[in-house]
Amino acid sequence: MDYNDNRYDRYDESPVNELTPLIDYEDLSHYELTPEEKAYEEMIRRRIRERRRAAERRRIKRNRTVALVILLVIVLVVCRSCYASHRKKRDEKKADTKITTAEKKPAKQENAESKAEAEVSDDGAEDESGHKMQQVDGLTFVDGILIVNKTYSLPEDYAPGINTAAQAAFDEMTAAAFNDGLYLYVNSGYRSYDEQYSLYYDYAAERGVAEADKVSSRPGHSEHQAGLCFDVNSTEESFANTNEAKWIAAHCVEYGFIVRFPKGKEAITGYEYEPWHIRFVGKEIAKDITEKGLCLEEYLGVTSDYADCKDGLSQERMAQELGVTVEDPYGNTYDDTADNSDDWDDSYDEGYEQSDYGWNEGWDNGY
């Protein structure tokens, strides 16, 4: 028998379970195998064992691979969910920080409000005109708007600097004006109590209190001390005719500003027309005021008169306080009607020549 005969090759190709010995011992129990047949039989059985072992090894190997893949997937999923939860936590932490910062601000406001409630007596409620007036640490708010004029003053130690929202709105506005080919800049922004004091004092010493009251705010009564307004570009009356002034009149409302002392409202605001002085009140209120064609005093139902100020001084008392006169010490008379800037400039020159004081700025810079 030739063991290398081709007919045995089928064992190499058949699946293990199809491999069966050629000889059935049950039937052939009586049959005496020759040594060659025995050897062949042994070889076949050895091959079968080897194949089974090989199959087993393959099965184990396959299972190991599957297990490894499953393990890898699990590790991946776990890592992903870990990272996701880490990210979520981080985001929540961030959000928390934001919320805390956001909560801090209203807390301050609440503080101010509770203070207001504590310090405001009868004024806290709406009056018959429907306006709500509040006094907070010496500041007067009408319908939540800080009012500073001849009737309502600011405490001497109130020094907030320029309001950040007002500054941001101003920057946005100047950028827009620049796009329209116009250059707007701050002539005068925040002014401290002391700065206003010396400004007013200089006018009063030069022209007397009566004239000073026409061109400059008394210390504590300037909106500039509140940090909510800007004098833009020039404070000369001729500014009204410039493209810049026209642009401001048309567009400042879009950025939350109003022209604070409009033409025709002089008797109500207590000040001459100032096309350069803009007050920040926020977009909504600015729009409302502008659409209604009112000045701030009309809008809030208040006056602007030193006679109405609770600790306002008469011109005589003011002159005494400052050590100056009520009337012009040089006997000058001033024709300061709003439309007559030439006369105004002439009187400025006269005042300058007769004075010991040096004037760094124009007359019309004191509101």
Judged by beta carbon, residue 229 or residue 309, the one nearer Zn ion is: 229
Judged by beta carbon, residue 40 or residue 275, the one nearer Zn ion is: 275
Instruction: Out of 239, 261, 344, 367, name the contact with Zn ion by CB under 5 A.
Output: 367
Judged by beta carbon, residue 141 or residue 261, the one nearer Zn ion is: 261
Tokens (6 digits) for 296: 């701030």
Contact 319, 208 (CB under 8 A): yes
Q: How far is the CB of 167 from Zn ion (least distance, A)?
A: 15
Positions 216 through 235 that interact with Zn ion (CB under 5 A): 231
Q: What are phi and psi of 334, to 5 degrees?
A: -120, 120
Under the criterion CB under 5 A, does residue 279 sit at the interface with Zn ion?
no
Contact 23, 37 (CB under 8 A): yes
Q: How far is the CB of 361 from Zn ion (least distance, A)?
A: 12
Stretch that binds Zn ion, among 78-86, 145-153, 211-219, 359-367 (CB under 5 A): 359-367
Q: How far is the CB of 229 from Zn ion (least distance, A)?
A: 6
Q: How far is the CB of 231 from Zn ion (least distance, A)?
A: 4
Judged by beta carbon, residue 213 or residue 231, the one nearer Zn ion is: 231
Sheet of strand 139-142: strand arrangement: 133-136, 139-142, 145-146
Judged by beta carbon, residue 231 or residue 328, the one nearer Zn ion is: 231
Measured between alpha carbons, how far is 126 from 305 in angstroms, rounded to an integer? 22
10 Å CB burial of residue 260 (0-12, 13-18, 19+) is: buried
Q: How far is the CB of 187 from Zn ion (least distance, A)?
A: 8
Q: How far is the CB of 137 from Zn ion (least distance, A)?
A: 24
Residue where the block lists tokens 């800049």? 185
Judged by beta carbon, residue 200 or residue 367, the one nearer Zn ion is: 367
Instruction: Out of 277, 289, 304, 319, name the contact with Zn ion by CB under 5 A.
Output: 277
Measured between alpha carbons, how far is 89 from 114 in angstroms, rounded to an integer? 35
Residue where the block lists tokens 């020039």? 234
Measured between alpha carbons, how far is 132 from 44 in angstroms, rounded to an integer? 109
Stretch that binds Zn ion, among 112-120, 270-278, 329-337, 354-362 (CB under 5 A): 270-278
Bridge partners, 67 (sequence order): none
Tell me the residue number closest to Zn ion, measured at CB. Answer: 277
DSSP 8-state assignment for residue 205: H
DSSP 8-state assignment for residue 338: T
How many residues touch Zn ion under the rule CB under 5 A: the total is 3
Residue 85: C-alpha distances to residues 88, 89, 96, 97, 165 (Å): 5, 6, 16, 18, 38
List of residues 6+ apart from 197 with CB closer than 8 A: 219
Q: Is 37 a catalytic residue?
A: no
Find the catalytic residue in 211, 237, 244, 274.
Answer: 274
Measured between alpha carbons, how far is 273 from 275 in angstroms, rounded to an integer? 6
Q: Which residues are catalytic?
A: 274
Residues making contact with Zn ion (CB under 5 A): 231, 277, 367
